[in-house]
């Protein structure tokens, strides 16, 4: 099933609760929450207090993308704030297996994110343990960047790898996703689409519906 995960990083922060309600009512299945620590990535975004205040706005899946060094330190706090799925960067975890298991033991779905230049081979051992792989299609840290074309091949290779290994892993793509390139991403094998600017710049509900209308073609 194809799912839309609007990234609130691009939302109007003075009106955040209403924006989350708007995209939820329009049918977005996930809410993508970008946590940035100013160390793994240059920017600082938001953390637990924001996530927990938004929890009462929607019953949609809270998909927390941790752009944080050593994210294992925060799993129980992020869970308490209301996460359903936690995605950590392979590049930010010295002990990736431990962190993945920490998330699973907390009763949450687990994803691992890869920066554009990180090869799929880092997932060779851990892939069967994962609910989702997040292929970053921009360098993480900022919204509104241009999609990096070579990541399309990476998505295609990952979908083939999953098929060969009999895995039905979700493949999420994050960065520069728009209504204009989403069909290509679907064809390549992604099934969870993060969109920040393409949803929240303008009418967020209408933009959400535009994505979902495209999904209906499949």
> What's the chain's length in residues?
218
Q: Which is nearer to ligand DX5, 9 or 23 (CB)?
A: 9
The Cα–Cα gap between 63 and 31 comes to 6
How far is the C-alpha of 182 from the C-alpha of 176, rounded, in Å?
10
Where do contacts with ligand DX5 occur on this chain (CB under 6 A)?
Answer: 7, 9-10, 32, 34, 65, 138, 140-145, 174-177, 194-198
How far is Cα 101 from Cα 115, in angstroms, rounded to an integer?
21
Sign of CA dihedral 166, 168, 173, 174: negative
Counting residues that bind Zn ion (by CB under 5 A) gives 3
Residue 196 marked ligand-binding: yes
Instruction: Please state the φ and ψ torsions of residue 216, each to the nearest 5 degrees.
Output: -65, -20
Q: How far is the CB of 134 from ligand DX5 (least distance, A)?
A: 8
Contact map string, positions 50 to 89, toward Zn ion, x by CB under 5 A: ---------------x------------------------
CA distance 112 to 108: 13
Beta bridge partners of 114: 135
176 contact choice in ligand DX5, Zn ion, none (CB below 5 to 8 Å, kind-dependent): ligand DX5
Q: Output the smallest distance, CB 166 to ligand DX5, in A.
A: 29
Q: Which residues are annotated as a binding site?
A: 7, 32, 34, 65, 141-144, 174-176, 196-197
Q: Which residues are catalytic?
A: 34, 174
């Amino acid at each position: 099933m194809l799912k839309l995960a609007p990234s609130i990083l691009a939302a109007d922060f003075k009106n955040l609760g209403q924006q989350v309600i708007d995209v939820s009512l329009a049918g977005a299945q996930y809410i993508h929450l970008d946590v940035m620590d100013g160390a793994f990535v240059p920017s600082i975004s938001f953390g637990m207090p924001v996530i927990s205040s938004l929890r009462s706005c929607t019953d949609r899946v809270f998909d927390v993308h941790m752009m944080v060094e050593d994210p294992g330190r925060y799993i129980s706090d992020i869970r308490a704030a209301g996460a359903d799925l936690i995605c950590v960067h392979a590049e930010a975890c010295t002990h990736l297996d431990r962190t993945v298991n920490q998330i699973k033991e907390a009763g949450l779905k687990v994803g691992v994110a890869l920066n554009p230049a990180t090869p799929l081979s880092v997932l060779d051992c851990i892939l069967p343990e994962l609910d989702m792989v997040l292929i970053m299609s921009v360098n993480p840290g900022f919204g509104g960047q241009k999609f990096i074309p070579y990541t399309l091949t990476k998505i295609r290779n990952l979908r083939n790898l999953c098929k060969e290994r009999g895995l039905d892993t979700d493949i999420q793509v994050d960065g520069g996703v728009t209504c204009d390139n989403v069909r290509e991403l679907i064809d390549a094998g992604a099934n969870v689409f993060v969109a920040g600017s393409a949803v929240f710049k303008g009418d967020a509900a209408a933009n959400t519906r535009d994505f979902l209308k495209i999904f209906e073609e499949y």
